[in-house]
């Protein structure tokens, strides 16, 4: 059995895992066809654990919102709105409109009616005392993503953004900066509030330690991957695993494909280039976390202490994404 751990954010992470599943011969969406049989024999051929960023999580309307976990769960479970990239397909917005008529704050966050059910179940379970990892596993019994989805941490650890605007220097939750302000306020810093005290969620440390390969999805290096590595025990686990640790660049030809990686990288003084992001992660032999770095064709630049390979890194469809995953596993020394 091959054990693979992926560190993932939302859209980039989820799309990559679709390709990884295809590369391993699994149906990209849903559980393996033979799940019942393999469960009985307890000999599932591939074991994929996706450790998902929780730095974007926030309380709104009294509900716990976990954008990246839900994007992964809905994408891999076949419930995502593929055009928007988040939330449920076939969504309606009655509750949002009703909240607006009450003038209920915040009015800037879209929570669809179908999506709301997920949030009600999650929040109720959290209030009953279940950790987020257990809540996520419970939600996944419906969505059957075919991988184990683990929140990076069960503790509250949120990304905040330090901005300067007419009100002066202040910090706000990442979601407020990203969604309410459309990432338009100049950000000088991204801070993972609570990271120092946060512990990895149950199973995260063990999955990384026992993995045959650890892959960093082409997710945002600052607010998706960076927020998980800011948790000291996660960084230690990645640094000490016997598996090879391979990253896939989210930067292609000097551009982030979508999202706000450019802004995030600028705020931490890293150039928006594949090589610069590889250097930012650093090689394990020089105190960083990577053994190998996969970059898009033409983006190759040597990074001290790690093997850099060029392959097409555009997730245009499942086949192209599966080829990326195969290249990453190959760089990890796994022939699958």
Cα–chain-centroid distance for residue 194? 18
Least distance to ligand GDP, CB of residue 35, Å = 26
Q: Does 187 bind ligand GDP (CB under 6 A)?
A: no
CB atoms within 10 A of CB 40: 9
Q: Does 13 bind Ca ion (CB under 5 A)?
A: no
User: What whole-number distance in Å separates Cα of residue 240 and Cα of residue 211?
Assistant: 11
115, 155, 159, 240 from 17: Cα distances, Å = 22, 24, 23, 23
**Candidate ranges 89-97, 129-137, 164-172, 308-316; the one touching ligand GDP (CB under 6 A):** 308-316
Burial of residue 33 (CB within 10 Å: 0-12, 13-18, 19+) is: exposed
Which of 137, 171, 233, 257: binder of ligand GDP (CB under 6 A)?
Answer: 257
Binding mask 194-223 for ligand GDP (x = CB under 6 A): -----------------------xxxx---
End-to-end CA distance of the chain: 11
Tokens of 226: 């960076």
Which positions from 53 through 92 interact with Ca ion, judged by CB under 5 A? 56, 68
- Taking the least distance from each CB to ligand GDP, the nearer of 11 and 211 is 11
Q: Does 249 bind ligand GDP (CB under 6 A)?
A: yes
Question: Which residue of this chain has its Cβ atom nearest to ligand GDP in the complex?
Answer: 12
Q: Does 256 bind ligand GDP (CB under 6 A)?
A: yes
Which of 48, 63, 125, 252: binder of ligand GDP (CB under 6 A)?
Answer: 252
Among Ca ion, ligand GDP, none, the one that 208 touches (CB under a kind-dependent 5 to 8 A) is none
Residues in the chain: 336
Tokens of 111: 């929570």
Tokens of 329: 């596993």
Summarize as ranges the residues that interact with ligand GDP (CB under 6 A).
8-13, 68, 71, 217-220, 224, 249-250, 252, 256-259, 261, 313-315
């Amino acid at each position: 059995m091959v054990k693979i751990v992926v560190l993932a954010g939302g859209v980039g992470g989820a799309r990559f895992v679709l390709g990884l599943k295809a590369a391993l011969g699994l149906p990209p969406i849903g559980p393996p066809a033979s799940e019942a049989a393999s469960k009985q024999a307890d000999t599932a051929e591939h074991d994929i654990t996706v450790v998902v960023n929780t730095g974007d999580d926030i309380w709104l309307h009294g509900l716990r919102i976990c954008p990246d976990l839900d994007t992964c769960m809905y994408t891999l479970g076949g419930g995502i709105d593929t055009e928007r990239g988040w939330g449920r397909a076939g969504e309606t917005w009655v509750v949002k409109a009703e909240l607006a008529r009450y003038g209920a704050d915040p009015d800037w966050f879209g929570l669809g009616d179908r999506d709301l059910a997920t949030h009600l179940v999650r929040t109720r379970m959290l209030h009953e005392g279940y950790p987020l990892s257990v809540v996520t596993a419970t939600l996944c019994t419906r969505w059957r993503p075919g991988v184990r989805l683990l929140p990076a941490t069960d503790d509250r650890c949120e990304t905040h953004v330090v901005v300067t605007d007419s009100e002066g220097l202040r910090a706000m939750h990442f979601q407020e900066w990203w969604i309410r302000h459309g990432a338009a306020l100049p950000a000088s810093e991204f801070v993972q509030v609570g990271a120092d005290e946060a512990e990895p969620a149950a199973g995260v440390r063990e999955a990384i330690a026992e993995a045959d390969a650890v892959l960093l999805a082409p997710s945002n290096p600052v607010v998706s991957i960076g927020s998980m590595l800011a948790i000291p025990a996660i960084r230690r686990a990645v640094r000490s695993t016997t598996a090879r640790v391979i990253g896939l660049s989210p930067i292609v030809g000097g551009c982030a494909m979508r999202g706000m990686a450019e802004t995030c990288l600028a705020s931490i003084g890293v150039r928006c280039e594949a090589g610069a992001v590889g250097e930012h992660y650093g090689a394990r032999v020089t105190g960083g976390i990577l053994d190998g770095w996969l970059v898009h064709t033409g983006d190759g630049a040597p990074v001290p202490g790690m093997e850099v390979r060029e392959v097409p890194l555009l997730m245009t469809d499942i086949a192209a994404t599966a080829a990326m995953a195969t290249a990453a596993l190959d760089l990890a020394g796994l022939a699958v």
